[in-house]
A and B are shown apart, each in its own frame.
Chain A
Amino acid sequence: MTTTAINDPVLEIRGLETHFFTRDGVVKAVDGVNLTVGKGEILGLVGESGCGKSVTSMSVLRLIQNPGEIVEGTILFHGEDLLGLSEKEMRSIRGDRISMIFQQPVGSLNPVFTAGSQIAEVYEIHESLKKKAGNAKAVEMLEKVGIPDPERRAKAYPHELSGGMAQRVMIAMALAAGPELLIADEPTTALDVTIQAQIIDLMREIRNDLGTSIIVITHDLGIVAEIADRVSVMYAGEIVEEAVTETLFAHPKHPYTRGLIGSIPLAGDRREWLEVIPGRVPNLIDLPGGCRFAPRCKAREEAGLKICTEQRPELINIDDAHTVRCFLYQEGAK
């Protein structure tokens, strides 16, 4: 495999395949994904809706619901394969050593319980604390994530919180047990821009202060540029490019990545047309035979490559810590 060696990996996903067995056929939502997250590293996982980012993260926590199933691969967490654990062992990892925050912070909190009690629950599950002690620690946690007047907020119900406030509560809940890995699935998508910046700052602080590894899943390259150390770009269930953030933005290789970067509107930059990637994400039931991006790829036509529609490209190393899944960079490809 060609993924770059990461010192002290916290999470290593190898050849993960998560499929959904629907009436219309098998949806290959995740199809052979490799990812590595180092200790204290922030990894950005980027792609369009439906490319398998969220399914990858839910697979890590083994929370894929019927009709979905992890059919192949290993997910090593500190060298231990999570897919080999019993449900009970897995429960003791969820929310304790690996935790997650989601896109809709208000909807992700249970409307009938107070914010504080939902955080306290984490202590009740993982540290066997009594309700009272858990509540006290929940208030501390709320203070840590920058919520003013934490005692009053702890008694508030989710509908009484703003989106940004609710996401801070979610972060407090996720960090309560001091996890080694935080998976943030579109953590800022539902928030106002100014609040987005605050949440991004908060996540960066968490990494710096606590050394927590973070996977940030997003479709927003702007956020990735802000926060991630390394970026993996996902397309139609597979990783198509992976590089250190600066490299990726300075020298994007995969035509899809270049398309994504080209379609970012810049403040103050008035262009008649934003670049768009033509076509649509392929149907994950009926995938194209060769490269999955081939039907939308202009670079392929310009280079006159035939192999793209015939054979599936492998991830290849272009540079140290820069891999891409594209025949354009493979010597001798026709």
Chain B
Amino acid sequence: MARFLLRRFISSIPVIIGILALVFALARMIPGDPCRAALGERATDEICDAYNERYGLNEPILVQFGIYIKDVATGDLGESFRFGVPVTQLLIERLPTTIELAGAALMIAVIVGVPLGIISGYRHNSKTDVATMIGANIGVAMPVFWLGLMLQYIFAVFLRDTPLALPPSGKLDAGLIPVPFYEAWGLPMNGLTEFLSEFTIMNALVTFQSEILSSAVLHLILPAVALATIPMAIIARMTRSSLLDVLGLDYVRTARAKGLRERSVILKHALRNAMLPVVTIIGLSFGLLLGGAILTETIFNLAGVGKTLFDAITSRDYTVVQGFTLVVAISFVIVNLVVDLLYTYLDPRVRVS
């Protein structure tokens, strides 16, 4: 198992280097001048020369790339042109928001999508099945930004002043400031503790800040639902078709002939096999979630990776674009590594002897 892990890990290194090169090139292909984007249209040539000198932007492109690779390898992702703070600091502050959002969305997508898929696969061609599949097709086709706006309209405008009202934007109610757990526990503040304390819900849970906790959860519902819709629809469809395939196989007949109750036949014998392709899809949906996070965070005004990346692209903040894209790509690689491991757990046929 350790060897398998190591091999999978090593094989993802070229992928990451490829991503680095691509992102580096793409960021420099965005038309416009980073100096004037950061300092304004009226910056003089002298100021811009100094600016380019300071950030190494006057070096040949290959040299810039070489410097970048060396810096990344030493954990230095550069400094944001726009904010003047290290990119790692921005990541510490904003990555947890996105992880919470994507995690909640993935949970909703799996918890709702898989059972829906099972029901419509088992009650194949029934009214429930048809309704679920129509819903799933609409879900796949619905643009995230439109759904987000509709949810905001329904829950924050139309249902305002009812118990069903939900906050349409931000992470917490105005005026609430969470106490980071390291302060509550008397731990020193460093990169790691600061990073962990930015997980608002987890932080509120471990320090028993109930008001913050409920506010954070309520604020998370709408963006998480908006973000979850597409992967949920994909997961439901995949579960359905995969279960349908499996239900026709010989070993399902054997399970029935043994005298197993239908529920065990489906949930034990069929589902474990049917979940194999679904797990792959769940891993791939993670990429979809990160892409969707850009739109969701922008609409719901959450200062996460997506929104930061969006702002960085529009203001040509190269280092932020590079740093954040790198982190997103690496997390994608990690998630798919986890999927591979899950696969070897679920399916003995892919286990390495």
Residues of chain A within 8 A of B161, CB atoms compared = none
CB contact list, A166-196 vs B, under 8 A: 170, 173
Distance from B248 Cβ to chain A, minimum over Cβ atoms (Å): 9
> Does any Cβ of A come within 8 Å of B259's Cβ?
yes
A159 touches B349 (CB 8 A): yes
Residues of chain B within 8 A of A94, CB atoms compared = 256-259
With A104-B250, A107-B250, A107-B251 as contacts: A157 and B349 at CB distance below 8 Å: yes
A93 touches B348 (CB 8 A): no
B228-258 vs A, CB cutoff 8 Å, 1 = contact: the mask equals 0000000000000000000001110111111
Residue on B nearest A177 in the bound complex, by CB? B259
Distance from B147 Cβ to chain A, minimum over Cβ atoms (Å): 37
The distance in angstroms between the C-alpha atoms of A274 and B348, with both chains bound, is 46
B260 touches A112 (CB 8 A): no
B259 touches A126 (CB 8 A): yes
A111 touches B273 (CB 8 A): yes
The distance in angstroms between the C-alpha atoms of A34 and B272, with both chains bound, is 40
CB contact list, A118-150 vs B, under 8 A: 121-122, 125-126
A110 touches B251 (CB 8 A): yes
Residues of chain B within 8 A of A111, CB atoms compared = 251, 273, 347-349
Residue on A nearest B254 in the bound complex, by CB? A108
* 21 pairs, A vs B, C-beta closer than 8 Å: A61-B256, A63-B253, A63-B256, A91-B260, A94-B259, A95-B260, A99-B258, A102-B250, A102-B253, A108-B251, A108-B254, A111-B273, A112-B273, A112-B347, A121-B258, A121-B260, A122-B259, A125-B258, A126-B259, A159-B348, A170-B254
Most chain A CB within 10 A, of B254, B272, B348, is at B254
B258 touches A122 (CB 8 A): yes
The distance in angstroms between the C-alpha atoms of A167 and B255, with both chains bound, is 15
B187-228 vs A, CB cutoff 8 Å, 1 = contact: the mask equals 000000000000000000000000000000000000000000
> Does any Cβ of A come within 8 Å of B82's Cβ?
no
The answer, among A96, A107, A112, for a CB contact under 8 Å with B259, is A96
Residues of chain A within 8 A of B260, CB atoms compared = 91, 95, 121, 125
CB contact list, B259-315 vs A, under 8 A: 259-261, 269, 272-273
The answer, among A91, A96, A109, A126, for a CB contact under 8 Å with B254, is A109
CB contact list, B323-353 vs A, under 8 A: 346-349
How many of chain B's residues have a CB under 8 angstroms from any CB in A? Answer: 19
Residues of chain B within 8 A of A99, CB atoms compared = 257-258
Residues of chain A within 8 A of B261, CB atoms compared = 91
Residues of chain B within 8 A of A159, CB atoms compared = 348-349
How many of chain A's residues have a CB under 8 angstroms from any CB in B? Answer: 26
Distance from B158 Cβ to chain A, minimum over Cβ atoms (Å): 44
CB contacts between A and B, total, < 8 Å: 66
The distance in angstroms between the C-alpha atoms of A169 and B219, with both chains bound, is 55
The distance in angstroms between the C-alpha atoms of A63 and B348, with both chains bound, is 29
Mark B residues whose CB is within 8 Å of A. 249-251, 253-261, 269, 272-273, 346-349
The distance in angstroms between the C-alpha atoms of A205 and B285, with both chains bound, is 55
Distance from A127 Cβ to chain B, minimum over Cβ atoms (Å): 11
B269 touches A110 (CB 8 A): yes
CB contact list, A37-64 vs B, under 8 A: 61, 63
A112 touches B258 (CB 8 A): no
With A111-B347, A111-B348 as contacts: A125 and B259 at CB distance below 8 Å: yes
Residue on A nearest B124 in the bound complex, by CB? A66
> Does any Cβ of B come within 8 Å of A92's Cβ?
yes
> Does any Cβ of B come within 8 Å of A100's Cβ?
yes
Residues of chain B within 8 A of A63, CB atoms compared = 253, 256-257
The 9 closest A-B pairs by CB, nearest first: A95-B259, A95-B258, A94-B259, A107-B250, A110-B251, A157-B348, A108-B250, A100-B257, A108-B254
Residues of chain A within 8 A of B346, CB atoms compared = 112
Residue on A nearest B276 in the bound complex, by CB? A112
Distance from A253 Cβ to chain B, minimum over Cβ atoms (Å): 34
The distance in angstroms between the C-alpha atoms of A157 and B273, with both chains bound, is 14
The distance in angstroms between the C-alpha atoms of A157 and B344, with both chains bound, is 13
Residues of chain B within 8 A of A104, CB atoms compared = 250
The distance in angstroms between the C-alpha atoms of A99 and B251, with both chains bound, is 14
B249 touches A107 (CB 8 A): yes
Residue on B nearest A94 in the bound complex, by CB? B259
Residues of chain B within 8 A of A107, CB atoms compared = 249-251
B257 touches A112 (CB 8 A): no
Residue on A nearest B348 in the bound complex, by CB? A157
Residues of chain A within 8 A of B249, CB atoms compared = 107
Distance from B341 Cβ to chain A, minimum over Cβ atoms (Å): 16
Distance from A106 Cβ to chain B, minimum over Cβ atoms (Å): 9
The distance in angstroms between the C-alpha atoms of A324 and B348, with both chains bound, is 51
Residues of chain A within 8 A of B254, CB atoms compared = 102, 108-110, 170, 173
Residue on A nearest B248 in the bound complex, by CB? A65
The distance in angstroms between the C-alpha atoms of A95 and B255, with both chains bound, is 9
The distance in angstroms between the C-alpha atoms of A310 and B258, with both chains bound, is 44
